[in-house]
Structure 1
Amino acid sequence: MVMAITDSAFLLGESREHPTHVALLQLFRPPPDSGPEYVSEFYRDLLTRTEVSGTMRRRPVRRAATLGQWSWVRDEDVELEYHVRLSALPRPGRVRELLELVSRLHGSLLDRHRPLWEMNVIEGLADGRFAVYTKVHHALMDGVTAVRRVTEGLSTERDGESLPPWAPSARARADGGAKGDVIDQAWGRVKGVTRMATEVAGTPAALTKALVDAYRDGAATLPFEAPKTMFNVPIGGARRFAAQSWPLDRIRAVGAKADATINDVAVAMCAGALRRYLIDQDALPDRSLVAMLPVSLRAADTAGSSEGNAVGAILCDLATDQPDPSVRLARIRASTRHAKAMLSGLNPTEIVALASVLVAGLAVAPVPGLRGMVPPPFNLIISNVPGSREKLYWNGAELVESYPLSIPAEGQAVNMTLTSYAGQLSFGITGCRRTVPHLQRLLDHLDAELDALEA
């Protein structure tokens, strides 16, 4: 099956310095009655779950029959012992050691000779918890789908039955296991092609009108208007990861006072933290930073498929040139509302096409001679991935924290991704290890910025 262009782009653009997978770090608390061998038993039980869905069997290939384009083939011999691994932290087993290990795991490439996913079960945390780090290639699915895939098999009851992310969904099992999974995906692709055929014809005109309207509107945030910063530089392949959670009630209360959404407040936290960090580095530009905010199209995607990528994007003025947190939040709120209003007149195909225009400038970053001449299309990506509102369990173990990891790109040394879970908003910050010093200080700045917004 030939890969969609939006999916194959993540393979074409990948290199040792630029891994293009997304991941989720989950922290679990073992059941109260568990013994010292619980994590080992948990891992061995995973290896007995040998039923693998069609999506998680996909392996990328390039063939003459597809004129060199990337396509998917079904791997009939998925080796779970390779994809699912057991690791242990060195003493003293703090969160610091966990994040160091996850940083190294996130910097390694997935093996293209196998299905593009891995899971690491990690024991050795001093407080008795254990972690699960799961990464999936962005060519296989986008971040929203990856989080859903990793969590949809968990139970809302401690004693409920749970399924690992590679297992067929409950719906596919009810429809006949792997056969149902394949039929569901095939029917989704047929509907997707039919829908796209009707949308593509009008895309150039609609896209041109949207760009012209944005240019004429002085309030619009346009690509290539972002200042150059210490983040917009060539990057290496090693990663550093930092993570922390805050109560959603605090963020929701700020939004209620300011007539802003939870996402607006979260973006304002990121903007204030970036401003503080750049001041510390004596590197704050005079002009405001610009963020790209991905917009999931899953709700609008009538193809009914959970595979591949269905993501649009908007640009947001972060108002980092403004020292007042309340004024900064107001500018961010106005910027996101304006951008969303522009998207409201476009169909999903047109929104994806517009996102492609917004990120096209990233392709220029690696070209020798052009790197210093072209301004960045934006300064960084800030994503918000919805998670479960309810507490989740995996065979009795309680999921207590969940943190997303995403993709720094060439010329984009930092990525900030958020996900919600059980009354918490979790921030995962992924950065280039070589070019972003003291990444963890952004967590302190996020905390200080939420305090400032509340004040």
Structure 2
Amino acid sequence: MLMKQLNGQDAVYLYAETPSTPGHLGLLYIYDQSTAPGKQVRFKSILGHIRERLHISHVFRSKLMRMPFDIDHPYWVDDENFDLEYHVRHLALPKPGDWRQFSILVSRLHSRPLDMSKPLWETYVIEGLDNISWLPKGSFAVFTKVHHCAMDGAAVIDLASRFHDKTPEPDVGIGEQAWTPEPKPPVKDLIVNTLLNNYKHSFETGFDMINAIPSIGKRLLAKARNRDMEPEATIVRPETRFNNDHVSPHRVFGGVEWNFEELKLIKNAVRGATINDVLLALCGGALHYYLQDKDELPFHSLRAIVPVRQDTKGKPNAETMAVMTPPIHSQVADPLERLEAIQWDTSTSAALENAHGAKDMTDITKHMPSFTLALGIGVATHSHLSRKTLAAIGNCVLTNVPGPQMPLYMRGAKLLYVSALAPLVEGLTLMFNAVSYNGRISVSFQSDRDALPDPEFMEACWERSFAELKCAAANQCEGAEGEVIHKVRIPKTAKRTPGGSRGRPRKAG
């Protein structure tokens, strides 16, 4: 029998989990059931839809079996007592059934840890959304939680697209597939596998560290050469209310959504800018207004931690995760100047080198022996070392996961809205997640309720940031009100699109 096992990179999300920082992701869908046959989708029909697609991933019917003292990474084993109706639950939104009440419910569901003795996912079907003004009457939501050790955000979005139909007519060709749980692997096989893994991982970790030395050396030399040219202020990561030592178990959730074409028009206002740059500029503006209102806006720019996918050298079809930590120029009030500065920062070789540095670390953790990795993560988590490390590199996380650009359906109900939720960690209690779907893009956020007690105001800050950047990019206003707290120097290579002082954007092709 083939034994499926977590690798070190995925196991980190398991070892770092605490009672107040569960390690699961969330995916939120909202559907219009008026497009379904009979204009209604019953809970029993949704159960059948999910049951017919459980074979898509082993994660749905597999649970983790951890080794004693974490002497090896956990194994996936079939859950012989799998019960679909335990994992899929039916709820009704309490009155008044508006967006605020819905956000509170999603926050509470997201704050609850998964049962680690069962397959690591849960789904909630939520009705009663009739007082959310921008939704058709009768809309319903599906909120799914899955542990980060089982899937990353991109894999969850990809799985979601495979879980849906591409037409309003339900796919009747898919039927429930027979499934028989496989027995757990014998203990002697696990012991032999553990000895082999630890022996192999010891060598692989050594090779990874040796391979990382040249790139680390290059970065150290580059930093030494550039030390005199870069002002010290450019590498400051100011601490904010979102870099707290303690994370409570309570969460808040909120989100905004726009037409994706509008972001493309904004992008075209600055030569070389990307959609990610626009999202970073919007994030910088939103946090500018939020912290300014609290009288907590730092003099120096906040930084965002941005996960990026990179090709693995020598493996054309393999990818690995790395991170960039660009400044979001939250100290700059002018929205277009902020976008120009971000475009320059994210396009430089220094930004790419920093991302490669994070890649070196993910390569090392992937092959580190389980006991060493689990012990190290545990010590870092409980000694607040993780908080000091994360606070040193960023103030928030911003992810951007592209979704399918076509309408999707479940039992005939059209999918209207998609957003994602991420786990929080000590020292980093503000997560922004962008997801694009069918010509729209949503940005949702999660935070500790103690750090962000007013999610409605954070939503308003994002809307204000978007309105001002859109206005500036379209050459329709003179710019944002207020003064630049700390002027940034933008090299001459970063230019707005020609056509006036603001540069009217080109039409997206």
TM-score by structure 1 length?
0.82
Match of 1:213 in 2: 222
Q: Residues of 2 paired with 1:220 and 1:160: CA distance? A: 60
The change in CA–CA distance for 1:344 and 1:437 in structure 2 (over 3 A counts) is closer
- Unmatched runs of 5 consecutive residues or more in structure 1: 180-192
Equivalent residue letter for 1:452: E
What's the CA shift for 1:64?
A: 4.1
Match of 1:252 in 2: 264
The change in CA–CA distance for 1:284 and 1:384 in structure 2 (over 3 A counts) is same
Q: Residues of 2 paired with 1:21 and 1:205: CA distance? A: 35
The change in CA–CA distance for 1:92 and 1:344 in structure 2 (over 3 A counts) is closer
SS in 1 for 2:116: coil
- Whether the 8 Å contact between 2:300 and 2:331 is mirrored in structure 1 is yes
Alignment counterpart, residue 121 of structure 1, candidates 125, 139, 159: 125
Q: Residues of 2 paired with 1:63 and 1:384: CA distance? A: 35
Pairing 1:394–2:410 present: yes
The change in CA–CA distance for 1:144 and 1:343 in structure 2 (over 3 A counts) is farther
SS in 1 for 2:414: strand
Pairing 1:323–2:339 present: no
Superposition pairs of residues 33-432 of structure 1, within 5 angstroms: 34-35=37-38, 38-46=41-49, 48-49=51-52, 51-52=54-55, 53-64=57-68, 67=71, 69-126=73-130, 127-161=137-171, 200=208, 202-210=211-219, 212-214=221-223, 216-217=225-226, 225-233=236-244, 234-259=246-271, 260-297=273-310, 310-338=320-348, 342-343=352-353, 350=360, 352-353=362-363, 366-367=382-383, 376-432=392-448
Q: How many residues align?
A: 426
SS in 2 for 1:425: strand
Q: Residues of 1 paired with 2:42 and 2:274: CA distance? A: 39
- Whether the 8 Å contact between 2:13 and 2:149 is mirrored in structure 1 is yes
Q: Residues of 2 paired with 1:113 and 1:362: CA distance? A: 20
Deviates more, 1:26-35 or 1:89-98: 26-35
Equivalent residue letter for 1:384: N
- Whether the 8 Å contact between 1:296 and 1:312 is mirrored in structure 2 is yes
- Whether the 8 Å contact between 2:398 and 2:433 is mirrored in structure 1 is yes
Q: Residues of 2 paired with 1:147 and 1:206: CA distance? A: 33
- Whether the 8 Å contact between 2:169 and 2:411 is mirrored in structure 1 is yes
Q: Deviations over 1:25-59 (max 9, x none)?
A: 00000144655862334334246537443233332
Superposition pairs of residues 3-18 of structure 1, within 5 angstroms: 3-18=6-21
What's the CA shift for 1:267?
A: 1.2
Q: Residues of 2 paired with 1:29 and 1:221: CA distance? A: 52
- Whether the 8 Å contact between 1:16 and 1:109 is mirrored in structure 2 is yes
The change in CA–CA distance for 1:135 and 1:370 in structure 2 (over 3 A counts) is closer
Q: Deviations over 1:424-451 (max 9, x none)?
A: 1101110111221212212211111122
- Whether the 8 Å contact between 1:153 and 1:162 is mirrored in structure 2 is no
What's the CA shift for 1:300?
A: 8.4
Q: Deviations over 1:75-100 (max 9, x none)?
A: 24321111111111122322222211
- Whether the 8 Å contact between 1:241 and 1:429 is mirrored in structure 2 is yes
Equivalent residue letter for 1:405: L
Alignment counterpart, residue 458 of structure 2, candidates 420, 424, 442: 442
- Whether the 8 Å contact between 1:214 and 1:222 is mirrored in structure 2 is no
What's the CA shift for 1:395?
A: 1.9
Pairwise CA RMSD: 3.9
The change in CA–CA distance for 1:363 and 1:30 in structure 2 (over 3 A counts) is farther
- Whether the 8 Å contact between 1:155 and 1:162 is mirrored in structure 2 is no
- Unmatched runs of 5 consecutive residues or more in structure 2: 131-136, 183-200, 367-375, 473-509
Match of 2:503 in 1: none
Q: Deviations over 1:245-292 (max 9, x none)?
A: 011111110111112111111111011000100001111111110111
- Whether the 8 Å contact between 1:222 and 1:315 is mirrored in structure 2 is no
Q: Residues of 2 paired with 1:30 and 1:313: CA distance? A: 39
Q: Residues of 2 paired with 1:100 and 1:345: CA distance? A: 35
- Whether the 8 Å contact between 1:121 and 1:131 is mirrored in structure 2 is yes
Deviates more, 1:101-110 or 1:54-63: 54-63
Q: Residues of 2 paired with 1:220 and 1:409: CA distance? A: 30
The change in CA–CA distance for 1:382 and 1:349 in structure 2 (over 3 A counts) is closer
Q: Residues of 1 paired with 2:144 and 2:58: CA distance? A: 18
- Whether the 8 Å contact between 2:93 and 2:101 is mirrored in structure 1 is yes
What's the CA shift for 1:138?
A: 0.5
The change in CA–CA distance for 1:125 and 1:215 in structure 2 (over 3 A counts) is farther
Q: Residues of 2 paired with 1:385 and 1:412: CA distance? A: 20
Q: Bigger radius of gyration, 1 or 2?
A: 2
SS in 1 for 2:393: coil
What's the CA shift for 1:162?
A: 8.3
What's the CA shift for 1:207?
A: 3.6
Deviates more, 1:293-302 or 1:85-94: 293-302
What's the CA shift for 1:161?
A: 1.8
The change in CA–CA distance for 1:346 and 1:9 in structure 2 (over 3 A counts) is closer
SS in 2 for 1:336: helix
Q: Residues of 1 paired with 2:233 and 2:161: CA distance? A: 36
The change in CA–CA distance for 1:354 and 1:415 in structure 2 (over 3 A counts) is farther
SS in 2 for 1:316: coil
What's the CA shift for 1:392?
A: 0.9
- Whether the 8 Å contact between 1:26 and 1:133 is mirrored in structure 2 is yes
SS in 2 for 1:317: coil
Match of 1:21 in 2: 24
What's the CA shift for 1:295?
A: 0.8
Q: Deviations over 1:147-181 (max 9, x none)?
A: 111222212211152899xx99xxxx9xx9999xx
- Whether the 8 Å contact between 1:226 and 1:379 is mirrored in structure 2 is yes
What's the CA shift for 1:324?
A: 1.4
What's the CA shift for 1:141?
A: 1.1
